[in-house]
Amino acid sequence: MKFLNRKTILSILLGIFIIMQFFRIDKTNPPVNQSLDFIEIHQPSKEIATMLKDACYDCHSHEVKYPWYTNIAPVSWWVKGHIDNGIAELNFSEWGNYKEGKAHHKLEESYEKVEKKEMPLTPYLIAHSEARLTEEQRAELVAYFKEKMK
């Protein structure tokens, strides 16, 4: 039995990679109703609003900014999966639709994940330096979420 040589294997892999590029992700953001948006509802300070926009909104709102690398499969599929999961878990653009108990629970989860450094996700931080929170910023955001729970 004749085995495939290295050149044939590389050609097959390249072909698969090229075919993958035809399966694009949907980068359409739904329209944002500002009256339902967390920042619009709670009117945080400019600093807190900036932290939320920089560290949270790309995966947890309808204001996703897709970077250049989301044009390359399979990276695009991986990123889109993270975004879809993030929005399903917490959507700041739909905050006004959350019932009081759910909103309270989402605030609790938010401060816990920020406090434990589980959010923002490390892979996101690698490509988005603006999302890196200092210890002081983390403490401010945690305090803000806790304050909103009252």
Cα torsion 68, 73, 74, 80 to 10°: value is 60
Q: What's this model's pTM, rounded to 2 decimal places?
A: 0.87
Looking at the domain assignment, is residue 21 inside a domain?
Answer: no
Place of tokens 């075919």: 19
User: What is the distance between the alpha carbons of residues 61 and 95, in angstroms, rounded to a whole number?
Assistant: 9
CB distance 60 to 92 below 8 Å: yes
Which amino acid is located at 92 in the chain? Answer: F
Looking at the domain assignment, is residue 56 inside a domain?
Answer: yes
Looking at the domain assignment, is residue 67 inside a domain?
Answer: yes
User: What is the distance between the alpha carbons of residues 146 and 38, in angstroms, rounded to a whole number?
Assistant: 15
pLDDT at position 56: 95
Place of tokens 């739904």: 30
Looking at the domain assignment, is residue 2 inside a domain?
Answer: no
User: What is the distance between the alpha carbons of residues 146 and 44, in angstroms, rounded to a whole number?
Assistant: 13
Which amino acid is located at 60 in the chain? Answer: H
**What is the domain extent for residue 35?**
26-149
pLDDT at position 5: 86
Structure tokens at 36: 């339902």
DSSP secondary-structure letter at 119? S
Looking at the domain assignment, is residue 116 inside a domain?
Answer: yes
Please count the structural domains in the chain.
Answer: 1
pLDDT at position 149: 87
User: Phi/psi of residue 36, each to 5°?
Assistant: -100, -10
pLDDT truncated to tens, each residue of the chain (150 aa)?
A: 467 788 889 999 999 999 999 999 999 999 999 999 999 999 999 999 999 999 999 999 999 999 999 999 999 999 999 999 999 999 999 999 999 999 999 999 999 999 999 999 998 999 899 999 999 999 999 999 999 988
Looking at the domain assignment, is residue 70 inside a domain?
Answer: yes
Looking at the domain assignment, is residue 95 inside a domain?
Answer: yes
Looking at the domain assignment, is residue 6 inside a domain?
Answer: no
